[in-house]
Chain A
Amino acid sequence: MEHDMRIDLITFEVLRNAFVAAAYEASTTIERIAYHPVIGMGRDRSNAILTPKGELVAHGHTDAAAHYGSFEESVKELLKDIPVSQMQPGDAYLFSDPYRTGSHVNDTRLIRPIFYKGEILAFSCTVIHWPDIGGPYPGTFNPHADSCYAEGIRIPPIKLYENNRLNEPIWKFISLNIRGAIERRGDLTAQFEAGKLMEKRMIELADKYGPEMVHIAMEEQFNYTERMLRKEIEAMPDGEYYFEDFGDQDVLKEGKPPIKVTCTLTVKGDQLTFDWTGSDVQPKASWGCSRATLLGANFLGFMIAFPELFPLNHGVTRSINVISKPGTCVHVNEPAGTTGYCSGAFDKIEAVTIACLSQAIASVKPWRVYPAAVSLTNLCLGGINPRTGRPFVQYTYAVGGENARVFKDGKSLIFMRFCNARTIPQELEERWFPVIYTRYEARKDSCGHGKRRGGFALVRELQVLTDVTMTIHGDREKFPPFGLNGGTNGGGCALKINVGTPQEKDLGMYATGEPLKAGDNIYYTSSGGGGYGNPLDRDPELVKEDIMDEWLTMEAAKKYYGVVVNVIDEDACEYEIDWEATNKLREELRKKPFPRGTGEHEINPLGENIRVEKEPTEEEVQPHITIARPPGW
């Protein structure tokens, strides 16, 4: 069967790789020259190439995946305000309006039209999470924001660079409204240079292959991706698949009720439809997200089920139907707050998407059945840095436990699924900010238990060395990442101060603008990944190994796994399984109903029914693992 593309296979291969490489190269540039550690070291940034119509062609592979899905909306919305006919080479447009661009105000987009011989060739879009973009509290996060007006400045499409020169008055206007504007100028420049670099690479490609061929390659990339996608969907059995997950609370509503996110996935032939209309109405507080974000989270969940379709591009986005209702928590209307989307709605949408797809895919690719994983905990500290005498904003997070896989345990202390980022070294933060770290350690027993257990959550502790204002915006305290097929939910998040002292206080995941004194200690912990399968079916040897590595306590081993382990010599790290006691205990536990529910270490009643018929082995899964990255990196 000869391929039916308008481009020869080799040119196609060269160009599609070159698009990803350009985005990746831009990302590494930002990594090297950005100022705030969360951007440079932490990689909270992303780069994309889009067609002149705003269709996504490629993105970097080490970026914040939460940004991927909203590139298209950002460029399309920009084009509504400013048509290409009004754009010039050397322009770059700043844009950050969550209702139009998706995600939150901190994620500023710098969009650059790329011209070739007077004609528009492509757009580049560079997103960076600015650690602060105004609002009442350092870091802009405001869990108690009753509207967008309480969480930083929104920026409409605005020509910030003209003829490659910064429009100083506009920048001055922005810098008067944000904290740390001097450093932000460094980050903005990194953002701008990334766009220029992508422009350079695209022009080189047009020089070599001609602009028509570049456009054909983009379109054929979409066709190619869609061809593969349709085959994947066709292979899944037709049907309707439902799942739901919850946010902890709407902190501004009476009684602080949980917030429900639901989806019904319909698979019919080669069509996929995700229907989110059953989700709760939009919360009063900042938790929900705009439609652009919903699309991003939905696409990300889809890509996790089909990583071989990398990179996410228009071939995927045009082929999936996503239905939502304005005014719901997954499609909020102005002026609902959105900074909390990344700990709130986003990871619930992503986890629910994956749980729906898991049901559909279980008989086809059983290894792609995934429980939920660690969520984001946004910790912001602000004050005056004694070292510089100027305001600082520290934005950081705790990584945690990934979901169990049907063939293997989940990874511990790893990044959230929606961000292929890196942790910020503590020794580096200690030099930037007036803090000193005292702990970076897994939390015992925090995994979702199961035949395959989830990964473990992280505990971080730090002491502030000056008076600061602290905000934490997290979730998954009451509704930790869910397990599947009888595996338990993971452990939940927490934040406390001055643990073990008379001043100890449990502040939870929604502490807003909390004043801390120099010397106060912050303890916070992330969530553990959901488990898969009945913990009583877990190989006792594996339970013993977890005890030896001090991931699990003896008590948890008994309680969840029914495994009794005795110490022979702790110093020598010698332990043995008491088989008789284990068999007896397991028998007893099997008779007792295990608590069902959505709380910590309970069995999620909906998730309980999601399972695969025959669990593949690790060796069977190995050949299916796709490492999508440009050649040479």
Chain B
Amino acid sequence: MGKFVVGTDIGGTFTDVIGIDLETGEQRLGKVPSTPPTFFEGVINGLKRAGITGEECISFRHGATVSTNAILERKGVNTGLITTKGFRDVLGGGRAERISAFELDWDPPPLIIPRRNVLEVEERIGPWGDVIIPLNEDDVRAAARKFKKRGIESVAVVYMDSFMNPDHEKRTAEILREELPGVDVTISYEIRPEMLEFERTTTTVLNAYISPILHRYLEGLAQRLREDWNYDKGVLITTSGGGIIGMDEAIKFPARTFHSSPVSGAVGMAGYIGSLAGFENVIAFETGGTTNNVSMIYKGEPAITHEWKILWNVPCCLTSVDTVYMGAGGGSIGWVDKGNILNVGPQSMGAVPGPACYGAGGDQPTNTDCQIVLGRINPDYFLGGEMTVYPELSRKALQEKIGDHYGWTAEKAAFSMYKVATSNLMLALRLQTVARGWDPRDFCIVPYGGGGSLYAVDLAKELGVGTVVVPPYPGYASAFGAIRVDVKHEFTKPLHKVESELNYDDLNKDMEEVVQQAIATLRKEGIDDKDMTIRRQVDVKYFNQSAFFTIDVPPGEIRDMKEITENFLAAMQAKYGYNLPPGYVQMEIVNLRVVGLGAVSKPELPKLNKTGVAEDAYKETRKVYFEETDGFTDTKIYERSRLLEGAVFDGPAIVEQQDTTTVMPPGCRATVDAYGNLVIKITDKRK
């Protein structure tokens, strides 16, 4: 009987399944079409395609793409919001900013809850948790009556300053559950007990909006797994924080599952693959059809944000792995502006009609068309040969829309467009590193998704990154990532006290309370105490400073601010290169924070255990355009599946596999490692 840990991920087009046997290291893969709207069929099909049975599975991990999609497609439930009287427009007003400096024609995406369903209740908790105006329960019941008539299926409750005292929110939830049986209720204190009313409100609203959907979905999935796959050992859901949580927690806090697919790919796959190649700093670079996602792993830890935005005015402010979207996918369009300058994007042809080469009516040159004209993508092996493309249409679009304008050939147009696209990506990647005070030269790039490895080596050369590691199956990154992450929960308690206001006995008591909360949740998810790691942190800043730093707290009781202050100053120095002297103004502790990690069994990437030489994988030689050769040059094409441990070859070269193409310009050398990773070293740095 096998002992498989199974990861599944649902994408727009494909559902991916990967299972690795904990004991034998055997790996089984399945890629099948996704089956909207329920997606269950695709999961079961994928499991069957991979040839894993429920009995063989000891742990099932799942990326809840359904929650992100429900928000992007506005397919959540009819949701209402109850808030403090007088603050009706905190949600709709947002932070009042525009996306662009001068553009007035732009509008933010429509609100998830229209103003009419934001109802007010008389109550007010003061900034320090005191009750200024008692809760008017009649107002709550009146709101419930309205919601009932309006067919509201889920209610968010957010009161001003409630993070300092949740009594009113909790009582409101009780009344709502009485008045509206069967309706989901989300209170802000349980989602995000932290300052900033707008951010707390949207996060709570997102949770409420998705909660019935995810609830139904996960219960449905669990049922199908039981009935059609004989599996009943629990489903673990990947989170935006780069971990997994149990189904009960996911149903309660769906906001924690948003964008977990790219995150688990970055943390569980790219970070891990990088570490196998000896790197603790990794640029996780995913390229799909319409966008790129970039996440950074630094010293083994993913870069975190507390303000991840699903959409422009829809931040989800839970601790989340920072994933930056860049509009440079395969469908981004190249165009010449009135000032005679060549631009790429942000407009995209998307999947329909798609790039010109699809022959589906798109007449604009896209990034994919450039790749085809430059010989980098093999038109006869598009999606492993499953899709017919028309290179002459790529050439035509490039010639007509760009080449004719400048008096260039289609090839020169393609190359120029490619360079503009990569320069945009390069700048974005630089900002992700240097803006955090990190040197890109200390990183490796791990590309994944269908297009990441088309760009990765060229980007590495531009950025000064020395190594690119292409995993064996870049197209299974999120599913694979799901089986490599640990159970992770995070809890906060707001404090908002300056040094002179601190009572260390109370502080230690509060911290211990949060620690116990974390331990209890981990135990509930079946984690043994010996597998738990509890990280205690505080959010600190100088009083009056706007933003805080999250600082680890040393073990034991906290009796002074000395070590915390030192760590704060060090963090500030590292990130901004300067400090104000201690004692300048008082330090303030904003929040107490506890991260509870539960270690779970993680299968390793299986080793190939077969050696070979590059020639074994040689397919053909064709002409490919490279900047280094200033034109087309004979390039060897290799088949990935036949590249075995120890194979070494130099660029120019192209490696083709069903789920991606890796482009190696001249000046780099690839070595296949024991796991089948392509470790590409830059040997000749550009400029």
Binds A, one of B12-20, B38-46, B195-203, B370-378: B195-203
B545 within 8 A of A: yes
- Measured in the bound complex, the distance between the Cα atoms of B117 and A182 in whole Å is 45
Chain A interface mostly: mixed
Bound: A414/B89 CA distance, A: 12
Chain A residues with Cβ below 8 Å from B115 are 549-551
- Asked if residues A432 and B544 are in contact (CB atoms below 8 Å), the reply is yes
Inter-chain contact A307/B546, CB cutoff 8 Å: no
- Choose among B425, B426, B545 the residue with the greatest number of A CB atoms under 10 Å from its CB: B545
* Interface-lining segment among A121-129, A169-177, A272-280, A620-628: A620-628
Chain B contacts for A33, CB-based, 8 A: 545, 547, 572, 576
Q: Which residues of chain A from 1 to 44 have any CB-CB distance to chain B below 8 Å in the complex?
A: 1-3, 9-10, 12-14, 17-18, 21, 25, 28-29, 31-37, 39-41, 43
- Given the known inter-chain contacts A307-B100, A571-B146, please indicate yes or no for A228 contacting B338, CB distance below 8 A: yes
Question: What is the minimal beta-carbon distance from A192 to any residue of chain B, in angstroms?
Answer: 8
Q: Considering the chains assembled together, what is the distance between the CA atoms of A13 and B687 in angstroms?
A: 17
A interface footprint on B577-605 (CB within 8 Å = 1, 0 otherwise): 11010001100000000000000000000
0 or 1 for each of A299-311: is its CB under 8 Å from B? (1 = yes): 0100110111011
Q: Are B124 and A630 in contact (CB under 8 A)?
A: no
Asked if B630 CB lies within 8 Å of chain A CBs, one says no
Whether A550 pairs with B545 at a CB distance below 8 angstroms is: no
Could you tell me the distance between the alpha carbons of A551 and B496 in the complex, rounded to whole angstroms?
Answer: 36
Tell me the A558-616 residues at the B interface (CB within 8 Å). Answer: 569, 571-573
Known: A25-B435, A420-B97. 13 other contacts (CB 8 A): A9-B341, A34-B545, A34-B546, A35-B542, A63-B101, A185-B580, A307-B102, A415-B98, A436-B126, A436-B127, A442-B93, A571-B149, A627-B106
B1 contacts chain A at the CB level, 8 A cutoff? no
Q: Are A549 and B339 in contact (CB under 8 A)?
A: no
Give me 17 A-to-B residue pairs in the complex whose CB atoms sit less than 8 angstroms apart, sorted by A's number. Answer: A9-B416, A17-B427, A208-B687, A228-B338, A300-B102, A307-B104, A310-B102, A399-B93, A425-B195, A427-B161, A427-B196, A436-B127, A437-B160, A442-B89, A571-B146, A572-B149, A625-B105
Give Cα A629 to B496, complex, Å.
35
What does the 1/0 interface line of B554-588 toward A look like (CB < 8 Å)?
00000000000000000010011110100011000
Distance in angstroms from A219 CB to nearest chain B CB is: 14
Q: Which of A14, A65, A402 has the most CB of B within 10 A?
A: A14
Counting from the closest, the 4 A-B pairs by CB-CB distance are A632-B428, A40-B546, A413-B93, A307-B102
* Contact, CB under 8 Å: B195 / A224: no
Query: C-beta contact mask, A66-110 vs B, less than 8 Å → 1, else 0?
Result: 000000000000000000000000000000000000000000000
Contacts of B342 in A (CB 8 A): 9, 13
| Contact indicator B326/A413 (Cβ below 8 Å) | no
Q: Does A458 contact B (CB under 8 A)?
A: yes
Check A61 against B427 for contact (C-beta < 8 Å).
Answer: no
**Are B103 and A62 within 8 A (Cβ)?**
no
| Distance between B302 CB and nearest chain A CB, rounded to angstroms | 18
Residues of A within 8 A of B407 (CB): 1-2
Beta-carbon contacts of A487-509 to B below 8 Å, as 1s and 0s? 00000000000000000000000
Chain B interface bracket (under 10, 10 to 19, 20 to 34, 35 or more): 35 or more
Whether A405 lies near B580 (C-beta < 8 A) is: no
Partner of A304, one of B89, B95, B104: B104
Are the C-beta atoms of B545 and A35 separated by less than 8 Å? yes
A422–B97 alpha-carbon span in the complex (Å): 5
Q: Which residues of chain A are within 8 angstroms of B127 by Cβ–Cβ distance? A: 427, 430-431, 436
Of A307, A311, A403, A438, which is within 8 A of B103 by CB?
A307
Contacts of B277 in A (CB 8 A): none
Cross-chain contact A408 with B197 (CB below 8 angstroms) = no
Q: Which residues of chain A from 381 to 435 have a CB within 8 Å of any chain B CB? A: 387-388, 399, 402-403, 405, 408, 411-415, 417, 420-423, 425-428, 430-432
> A196 → chain B, closest Cβ, in Å?
8
Q: State the B residues within 8 Å of A (CB).
A: 86-90, 92-108, 114-117, 124, 126-127, 132, 145-146, 149-150, 160-161, 195-199, 294, 324, 326-328, 337-343, 346-347, 405-407, 416, 419-420, 423-432, 434-435, 496, 498, 542-547, 572, 575-578, 580, 584-585, 687
Q: A422 and B96 in contact (CB under 8 A), knowing A417-B104, A625-B103, A631-B326?
A: yes
Interface flag for A227 (CB, 8 Å): yes
- The answer to whether B431 touches A21 (Cβ under 8 A) is yes
- Complex CA gap A193/B576 in Å reads 8
The residue on B at minimum CB distance from A34 is B546
Interface status of A461 (Cβ within 8 A of chain B): yes
Closest Cβ of chain A: how far from B500's Cβ, in Å? 9
Contact residues in B for A431 (Cβ distance below 8 Å) = 127, 195, 496
Closest to B90 in A: A440
Cα separation A13 to B341 with both chains bound (whole Å): 8
Closest to B164 in A: A427
Quote the shortest CB–CB distance from B308 to chain A (angstroms). 14
Partner of A631 from B93, B132, B424, B435 at Cβ < 8 Å: B424
The answer to whether A225 has its CB under 8 Å from any CB of chain B is yes
CB–CB A28/B435 < 8 A: yes
Contact between chains at B195 and A427 (CB < 8 Å): yes
Report the Cα distance A481→B405, complex, angstroms.
44
- Across-interface contacts of B543 in A (CB, < 8 A): 388
In the bound assembly, the distance between CA atoms of A439 and B84 in angstroms comes to 9
Would you call B146 and A573 a contact (CB within 8 A)? yes
A371 to chain B, nearest CB (A): 11
Do the beta carbons of B585 and A186 come within 8 Å of each other? Answer: yes
Q: B400 → chain A, closest Cβ, in Å? A: 14
**C-alpha spacing A18/B428, complex, angstroms:** 10
Known: A65-B102, A413-B92, A415-B98. A439 touches B87 (CB 8 A): yes
- How far, in whole Å, are A388 and B354 apart by their CA atoms in the complex? 61
Q: How far is the CB of B587 from chain A (nearest CB, A)?
A: 13
Residues of A close to B420: CB separation below 8 A? 9-10, 13
Report the bound CA distance from A412 to B114 in whole Å.
13
Note all chain A residues with C-beta closer than 8 A to B198.
Answer: 425
Contact yes or no, B100 A3, CB < 8 A:
no
Taking CB atoms, residues of chain B closer than 8 Å to A420 are 97-98, 100-101
Point out the residues of chain B lying under 8 angstroms from A224, CB to CB: 339-341
Complex CA–CA separation, A427 to B115 (angstroms): 22
A183 within 8 A of B: yes
The answer to whether residues A439 and B542 also contact, given A17-B427, A425-B195 and a CB cut-off of 8 A, is no
Contact (Cβ within 8 A) A403 B104: yes
B96 CB contact (under 8 Å) in A28, A403, A414: A414
A517 at interface, CB cutoff 8 A = no
Asked if A436 and B132 sit within 8 Å, CB to CB, the answer is: yes
Interface residues of A in 50-71 (CB under 8 A from B): 61-63, 65
In contact, B149 and A17 (Cβ under 8 angstroms): no
Contact partners of A225 in chain B: CB under 8 A: 339
One of A61, A442, A550 near B101 (C-beta < 8 A) = A61
CB distance from A543 to the nearest CB of B (A): 14
Q: How far is the CA of A630 from the CA of B426 in the complex (A)?
A: 11
Q: Given that A9-B416, A25-B431, A431-B127 are known contacts, is A193 also in contact with B103, CB under 8 Å in the complex?
A: no
- Whether A399 contacts B100 by the Cβ 8 Å rule is no
Q: Is A158 close to B, CB under 8 A? A: no
Question: Which residues of the partner chain B approach A421 to less than 8 Å between Cβ atoms?
Answer: 96-97
Q: Is residue A532 within 8 Å, beta carbon to beta carbon, of the partner chain? A: no
Whole-angstrom CA separation of A426 from B160 in the bound complex: 9
A367: Cβ under 8 A from any B Cβ? yes
Do A632 and B542 contact each other (CB < 8 Å), given the known contacts A13-B423, A61-B100, A458-B93? no
Contact of B423 among A3, A14, A307, A623 (CB under 8 A): A14
Q: What residues of A have a CB within 8 angstroms of the CB of B103 in the complex?
A: 307, 625-628
Determine whether A539 belongs to the interface, using a CB cutoff of 8 Å to chain B. Answer: no
Choose one: B106, B160, B341; the contact of A12 (CB below 8 Å).
Answer: B341
Is the CB of A548 closer than 8 A to any CB of chain B?
yes
Known A228-B338, A430-B161; judge A632-B100 contact (CB<8 A): no
Q: Cα distance A414–B100 when bound, in Å?
A: 13
Q: Mark A219-251, 1 if CB is under 8 A from B, else 0.
A: 000001101100110000000000000000000
User: How many angstroms between the C-alpha atoms of A402 and B584 in the bound complex?
Assistant: 41
